[in-house]
Amino acid sequence: MLQYSLRRLLIGAGMLIALSMLIFLLLRLTPGDPIDAYIDPNIPMSPAQLSDLRSQLGLDQPLPVQYVAWLREALTGNLGFSIKRQDQPVLSLVLSRIAPTVLLMGSALVMAIMAGIITGVVSAVRRNSVADLSFSVFALAGISSPPFLSALIGLYIFAVSLNWAPSGGMLTPGAEFSIGDLLHHLVLPAALLSIAQAALIMRYTRASMLEVLNQDYVRTARAKGVKEFWVIAKHALRNALLPVVTLIGSTIGLAIGGAIFIESVFNWPGMGLLLVNAVETRDYPVIMGSTLIIGACVIVVNLLTDITYAVIDPRIKVG
């Protein structure tokens, strides 16, 4: 078990380094010289001064040397400075955006798990009923509608027409901080973000439940007189949830993709909005820093999913 976890950890670290190389290369291949972003265009500089500055900054070195120099700084927490936001350090910019994104994605995940598992179980138990059919249609719609469109429709219905929720932001500007205000702003974007994940979880739970309900141990439980509710909630559901756990880990990518759109529609001050703004203004240090941190999070979540799965399902061959 320990050996398995360690090996997965090593692979994860290798992936992260390779990812940083890939992104470093991609961004150094961009048209334009990094020096242009560094200098003030209003102060004229001679070519000799420019080349001095270039060698001072190490930009005349070969790419691998530049990469190692960059990596050494990155490991100590220096991810460079934003070009467009008054030279703020990238690390603190990104770190300040993590909490809102985690809050949004975490609440969406909790909603998706609850909604997905409950509807999935109901659909499987009442197979081919009206409820099953309507949940399945809803899941199909949830999987096939792109997050930006469902965000717009949700905004139109709940914020504009019904006026139940504010149309954007995380807190009311100028008002004093309160949990109620935060929740009021959080519910709608989180619910919209959870749709795609809930739909996937529902489909998987339904399929997995249908399979488990035919197993011998479920028949045994019924035969020995266990109440139907407990047969489903305990004997069947606990086993049916095993494959769903891995699914939840692998939908994290989907959720990050969705969060980028939801954050930019709802003006939610998270990583997604930061990244989109950085791409719009071609703020390469911020693009690179936030991509790396998102990549690190995805790799860590995948690692945790693999390890959790090995812990809860002893049938997985470890090694």
Partner 1 sequence: MLARTPRPSPGPTARAFHRFGHNRAALFGVGVIVPMLLLILSYPLWWTFKPNDIDLLAMNSGPTATHWFGTDGVGRDVFARVLEGGRISLLVAVASTVISAIIGFLVGAISALAGRWTDAVTMRFVDLVMTLPPVIFLLVLASIAGTGIWPTVLVISLLSWPLLSRMIRSRLLELRERDFVMASRGMGAGLGHLLFRHGLPNSIDILVVYATLQIANAILLEAGLSFLGLGIAPPAASWGNMLNAARSTAVLEQFPWQWLFPGGALVLAVLAINFIGDGLRDAFDPRAELN
CB of 188 to partner 1, least distance (A): 14
CB of 170 to partner 1, least distance (A): 18
Which residue has 């209003």 as its token pair?
A: 42
- Closer residue to partner 1, CB minimum distance, 23 or 57: 23
Contacts of 54 by beta carbon, 8 Å cutoff, 6+ apart: 35, 60
- Closer residue to partner 1, CB minimum distance, 1 or 10: 10
Indicate if the alpha-carbon torsion angle 219, 225, 227, 230 is positive or negative.
Answer: negative
Query: What backbone phi and psi angles, to 5 degrees, belong to 81?
Result: -125, 145
Token readout for 67 is: 């990469």
CB of 279 to partner 1, least distance (A): 4
How far apart, in whole angstroms, are the C-alpha atoms of residue 182 and residue 178? 6
Applying CB under 8 A, which residues contact partner 1? Answer: 15, 18-19, 22-23, 26-27, 29-31, 144-146, 148-149, 152-153, 155-156, 160, 167, 252-254, 256-257, 260-261, 264-265, 275-276, 278-280, 282, 284, 287, 291, 294-295, 298-299, 302
CB of 128 to partner 1, least distance (A): 17
CB of 261 to partner 1, least distance (A): 7
- Closer residue to partner 1, CB minimum distance, 95 or 296: 296
Q: Which of 233, 246, 263 is nearest to 108 (CA)?
A: 263
Q: At what angle do helices 237-250 and 252-266 cross, to 10 degrees?
A: 60
- Closer residue to partner 1, CB minimum distance, 42 or 144: 144
- Closer residue to partner 1, CB minimum distance, 99 or 279: 279
Token readout for 181 is: 């205000």
What is the DSSP code string of 49-97?
A: HHHHHHHHTTTTS-HHHHHHHHHHHHHTT---B-TTTTT-BHHHHHHHH
CB of 275 to partner 1, least distance (A): 6
Token readout for 35 is: 């020096």
- Closer residue to partner 1, CB minimum distance, 167 or 215: 167
